[in-house]
Amino acid sequence: MHRVDLFPTHKYQGLKLRTGRPYPFGATVIGNAVNFSVYSRYATDCTLVLFHNREEKPFIEIPFFKEFRLGNVFSMMVFDLDYENIEYGYRMDGPFCPEEGHRFDKSKILLDPYAKLIVGRDVWGKQPNWDSLYQYRARVVFDDFDWENDLPLETPVNDLIVYEMHVRNFTCGAAAGVKHRGTFAGIIEKIPYLLELGVNCVELMPIHEFDEFENFKPSPIDGHPLYNLWGYSNVGFFAPKAAYASSGRFSMQVDELKNLVKRLHANGIEVILDVVFNHTAEGDQRGPYISYRGIDNKTYYMLTPDGYYFNFSGCGNTLNCNNPNVRDMIVESLRYWVTDYHIDGFRFDLAAILGRDQNGNPMSNPPLLESLAHDPILGKTKLIAEAWDAGGLYQVGSFPSWGRWAEWNGKFRDSIRRFLKSDEHVLADVKERILGSPDLYASQLSSFGGTGRGLKASVNFVTAHDGFTLMDLVSYNSKHNEANGEDNRDGENNNNSWNCGWEGPTDDADINRLRHRQVKNAVTLLMVSQGIPMVLSGDEMGNSQQGNNNAYCQDNEIAWINWNDLEKNADIFRYFKQMIRFRRRHKVLRYDDHLSHTDYRNLGLPDFSWHGVKAWHPESGYNNLTAAFMLNGQYTTPASVVGGFPADTSPLSPPDDFIYVAMNMHWEMHGFELPHLPEGLAWHVFANTGMEPPADIAVPGEEPLIDNQHEVLVGPRSIIILVGKETR
Amino acid sequence: MNTEIYKLGEELDSFNYQEVQDGILAILEKGCSAVLDMTACNYVSSTGLRVLLYTKKMAASKGLKLYLVGVSAEVKDIMDVTGFDGFFDTFDTVEECLQQIQ
């Protein structure tokens, strides 16, 4: 059978045309035609502009005839295009009337907001032709990647160990030892490393197309170029960053990224994308015309009553997320990444903006967030909010979730950092964080899904791309961002960091020992806390950014991971690796629901208990700098199986071990009295950050028995983890 | 097994894909496996990659094979990073290929 509606009805300058299909938006191959469809509520006319690849001048401009319009959509089919060799754009005509929100300019050639393949910045740092009329150029995508049997992994949320990574920073360093440095293919080469570390999810900092030359300037220190390295500035919401693909020069970034996802999945590693739906790269009224401003300014942007750009993002403009059409675009973009790229989850940058109405006011039931929470295609996709914005909205603990959204738990970061530097006023808060922040997530208003959000709502982290690396957190009291060219004014001032006695690198062995111990303390607290742990890439080898806590523009050794650190800080890597294995081994560290602190099944001991330097006396200790807790592994079995008798447990889900953690952030040693274990079990030591390697950590499952079963001595600023299990 | 050799030019892209695809399919139509001699080829575009995988799958559907021979380092690299490499049996030379598949 052949379709009867794929015959041309029009001819224009030698090209054969037909009325297009308004849906889907973008450029779609249908038979021997390409269907071009674009909407604009306020445009009066639209022209399709076609180029041969990389040519400055278009070879044809085709107006959308009256019969090519339906509602506010312009669509046409163009037949017999060699679409591998076509770039397309639009000219939009309409009012230029900024005070009413309109900025149409038909002299500009505009990128399709639904472009799935964008060229023009194909090789990182290669100067484009700045005089070119059309900078970021849409192409028709090949969407027939052969996934074989791959699908998103759907790993249970509480089993995730997230590894936040930047595509360039991860493998650009000279010592990375990969063939394709700084690219998707480079990450593939490092999969064995990720497996050894033990993480099962990579969160990629923005990989949507952006322009590294945005706000490009020379460094005040040595004149090298300061690029937009991080890419929190979208050119397109449907296209991958070309220059992140080693094959970007051949415009094969789509296949290369898909291959990365497929290969990670084959190794049990999920992929979360950091997505930036709060603003675009067009900036404010002084910025360039890339797409949205010229296609339909009033639809895409939140505008002040006099037509200027609201700036809740801190980046010049704010995407009009709760305009119904923009909302649809966001939903379509996310569906596309899940459907076509098999993406497992998204982390939404400055997500609080997604809950603001078209005038910028926070909404109580934001329709966009509700749509995403209930979307069928995103039904098992992880949704993680950075629950604040640059306009002062802070929603950690109150982000509208409908039981689906998790949050970057900024309070975990702040409390744990303060505890690490021996702040005596934070222990009560630290206890909440270790428990998965029940104060924030154990209940939420019924309108957002009824009962508590559970432990899967909290993404715990001590460090992330914003701020110090973990090694810098224990090496610097203040930020050192001079190289960013803003006189050290940029970046967070309130870091809760402590340099351990000297600002920056030192040869002092005692200070360096303490720094290593503090790094280990930090990852210990992260891995023994309930919730979803997230590690900043490079922290596992003590990577430093030389005190720069905002390295967004440092496309050099400052931000690139120094793989030589892997050898230099071998003890840190080993500690991370075993700590991650320990967490993955012990279900008792990865509960679904908040703990009850009671023995509700009459097993003899509660599911969770706080202790002090005296067992069962949490109040006993030193100035809020000491605390201990015990997790009861018997509670990891399903209630119906246990029935009050641990011996009855199913062989498929044996009870976990007991885990006891003693934390001493005081600068002196303290003895901790140990709680008694049930008959037949004894305490074994898994980790002691106060010990020199290799005695600082054991291989999980091979922990040595401790002689004294009644008390442990925990050294200054140290943490001990004991495992209560049968002695073999 | 009956095989026939098809020799590629310097490039495989949207300008010549139809001719190449038809050529390989014609070999398969005869009930022969195809040996694609890529020794002279230094560029395969997105279209070209799809011609390779499409004809390979067409061969498989007929119980036949498509072998790639003399894949240059540049082309190998493109296939490697885009994940197309995993689908093919490759050989350095036509002689080696014919010897091995006997």
- The CATH number that applies at residue B12 is 3.30.750.24
**Please, where are the H alpha helices in A207-283?**
253-266
Q: How many residues does chain B have?
A: 102
Tens digit of each residue's pLDDT (9 = 90 or more) over A660-715:
999 999 999 999 999 999 999 999 999 999 999 999 999 999 999 999 999 999 99
- Per-residue HEC secondary structure of A319-341 comes to ECCCCHHHHHHHHHHHHHHHHHH
Each residue of A519-538: b (16+ CB within 10 Å) or e?
bbbbbbbbbbbbbbbbbbbb
Domain A10-139: top CATH class: mainly beta
A692 tagged catalytic: no
State how many domains chain B has: 1
**Low pLDDT (below 70) residues in chain A:** 444-451, 639-653
C-alpha A676/C-alpha A10 separation (Å) is: 86
**Chain B residue with Cα closest to A255:** B82
Q: Helix A570-585 and helix A509-528: axis angle, to 10°?
A: 20
Q: In what order do the strands lie in the sheet with A658-664?
A: A608-611, A626-631, A658-664, A718-726, A681-688
List the single residue in B46, B77, B87 with the smallest CB-CB distance to A84: B46
CB neighbour list of residue A454: distance below 8 Å, 6 or more residues apart: A441, A592, A593, A594
Cα distances (Å, whole numbers) of residue A1 to A4, A19, A527, B25: 9, 22, 59, 22
Q: How far is B95 from chain A (nearest CA, A)?
A: 30
CB atoms under 10 Å from CB of A313, counted, come to 24
Mean pLDDT, residues B35-47 taken together? 97
Provide, as residue numbers in chain B, all residues whose Cβ is less than 8 Å from the Cβ of A142.
46-47, 50
pLDDT computed for residue A652 by the predictor:
52
Cis peptide leading into residue A694 (ω within 30°): yes
pLDDT computed for residue A653 by the predictor:
66
**Chain B residue with Cα closest to A254:** B82
Tens digit of each residue's pLDDT (9 = 90 or more) over A489-522:
999 999 999 999 999 999 999 999 999 999 999 9
CB neighbour list of residue A321: distance below 8 Å, 6 or more residues apart: A277, A278, A327, A330, A353, A354, A356, A368
**A131, burial (CB in 10 Å: exposed 0-12, middle 13-18, buried 19+):** exposed
Instruction: Check residue A460 and report its DSSP letter.
Output: E
**Considering A87, A164, A296, A349, which one is annotated as catalytic?**
A349
Q: Which CATH superfamily is domain A595-726 in?
A: Golgi alpha-mannosidase II (2.60.40.1180)
List the single residue in B13, B83, B87 with the smallest CB-CB distance to A255: B83
**Considering A386, A472, A539, A607, which one is annotated as catalytic?**
A386
Mean pLDDT of chain A: 95
**Cβ–Cβ of B82/A180 closer than 8 Å?**
no
**Please, where are the H alpha helices in A267-362?**
292-300, 324-341
Structure tokens at A363: 């909404």
| Identity of the amino acid at A515 | R
pLDDT computed for residue A645 by the predictor:
46
Structure tokens at B11: 């490039």
Residues of chain A with CATH 2.60.40.10: 10-139
Instruction: Check residue A647 and report its DSSP letter.
Output: G
Interface of A with B in 159-198 (CB under 8 A): 180, 183-185, 188
Judge whether A147 is closer than 8 Å to chain B, CB to CB: no
A386 tagged catalytic: yes
List the single residue in A82, A251, A259 with the smallest CB-CB distance to B81: A259
**Cβ–Cβ of B81/A84 closer than 8 Å?**
no
List the single residue in B15, B45, B82 with the smallest CB-CB distance to A256: B82
Residues of chain A with CATH 2.60.40.1180: 595-726
pLDDT computed for residue A508 by the predictor:
98
Provide, as residue numbers in chain B, all residues whose Cβ is less than 8 Å from the Cβ of A141.
none
Provide, as residue numbers in chain A, all residues whose Cβ is less than 8 Å from the Cβ of B14.
82-85
- A149 and A225 Cβ atoms separated by less than 8 Å: no
Instruction: Check residue A421 and report its DSSP letter.
Output: T
**Cβ–Cβ of A146/B53 closer than 8 Å?**
yes
pLDDT computed for residue A637 by the predictor:
85
Q: How far is B15 from chain A (nearest CA, A)?
A: 8
Chains A & B: contacts with CB separation below 8 Å: 50
C-alpha A360/C-alpha A318 separation (Å) is: 9
Q: Which domain holds residue B20?
A: 3-101
